[in-house]
Amino acid sequence: MIRLNILTNNSCPNSRAFNFPILASKHLLEKLGISAKFAWKISPHTFECDILAVNSNVFRTYWTSRKNDIFAFLEKASSSRTKILWFDTTDSTWCTQFEAMPFVSKFLKGQILADRSLYLKTFRTGRIFTDVFDELYSSSESPADYPPARPDDLPKLSLSWNSSLENYTESRYSLGGKIRNALRPLLANFADEKIRVQWSDPRTPRRILISSRFGKTHSRPSVTAHRRALGEILRKRGVRDEKIPLPDYFAELRNSQMAASPFGVGEITLRDFEIVISGAALLKPDMSHLETWPELFKSSGASTDTYMAHRWDLSDLDEKIDQLLGNADARIGMAENAQNAYRKVLSEEGTQLFTERFSGILKI
């Protein structure tokens, strides 16, 4: 039996999406000879395992101020002959944590640059898309001082799973949803979990053409500039974008033919999944520069597409919107493709697929 410890927390959506699929597949992992145990804080028992999977968010608040403590922890784990898997659960394809590479057997990300050699260069603003946005809009984005990977690091770099594997329905804001999140650390080693999603049929009549309820301000000036430029184009089409209460937000998505979802801290955002569940077609900046799993984002002009991609400079945005508005069958088909793909990964079959993927990751 392989002893697997998972050092994690449940403090943010990315952590919850890291935790959930492991919780859902524990019984299947057991059948494969993998005993998975969750650790919600560091203790001497943390190192009593063959493999230690580390959610990077555990160290998020003191990555810069107490970095030496992190390295001391990783060195202690590796000296105990424990194999360390570092799961970078930050949002974007880029990474600020390559300094952990010497201590780990694998370094995994939920969304990864398709061209791995790009990790050897430095992006001036810290991300591939903020570099582009800053140049487009002269947004005065501050330079970011993140170390790139070294050539010897690239073989350790691998793809894990993205943030789709959690509950993004309106119910997560309910009392029951909040209780579920609060109890997870207490029940993780004793009970499996499942997600129950109420999908909205893309074929239902939809009165609103485009939903544009995304934040127009951001901690990144370049992202703010891009979102405002996107919002301005949509406002010229009469699209309303002021903030509305959560119940109205979800009701609008369920009544929208399509919905825009720009990049944020990372390329993939939680709004993407809310849109798909609500049955609207997803309108999003092109993501062909990255790889992710589950592979929910396909846009190649084929009948199997799951979202409508537009250029980062928004030069074809009106054209792409008109394509969707002018062809209801294609728009509905795209929304259905996205739902079918997402429905599969949240099903029993999806749990089995995750188990196979995760057990492969654990083979060091």
Q: Strand 106-109 and strand 83-88: pairing?
A: parallel
Contact, 21 vs 194, CB < 8 A?
no
Domain locations along the chain: 2-110+160-192+346-361, 208-345
Q: What is the torsional sign of CA 283, 89, 36, 20?
A: negative
**Which amino acid is located at 58 in the chain?**
V
Contacting residues for 61 by C-beta, under 8 A, at least 6 apart: none
Angle, helices 13-31/348-361, rounded to nearest 10 degrees = 90
pLDDT at 164: 97
The second-level CATH assignment, the architecture, of 2-110+160-192+346-361 is 3-Layer(aba) Sandwich (3.40)
> How many Å apart are CA 116 and CA 290, to the nearest integer?
10
Helix (H, G, I), strand (E, B) or coil at 188: coil
pLDDT at 248: 97
Kindly state the tokens that stand for 364.
Answer: 């060091």
Topology match between the domains 2-110+160-192+346-361 and 208-345: yes
Distances (CA, A) of 305 to 302, 318, 353: 6, 19, 21
Distances (CA, A) of 93 to 33, 165, 217, 231, 242: 32, 18, 21, 24, 30
pLDDT at 10: 93
pLDDT at 361: 97
Class of domain 208-345: alpha beta
Alpha carbons within 13 angstroms on the beta-carbon side of residue 188 total 24
pLDDT at 181: 81
pLDDT along the chain (364 residues), means of 10: 96 95 94 95 91 95 87 87 94 92 96 97 95 97 91 96 95 85 77 84 98 92 97 97 96 98 96 98 98 97 96 98 97 98 95 96 88
pLDDT at 36: 95
pLDDT at 175: 87
Assessment of whether the complete model's pTM goes beyond 0.75: yes
Closest among 46, 62, 63 to 6, alpha carbons compared:
46
Closest among 145, 137, 58 to 99, alpha carbons compared:
145
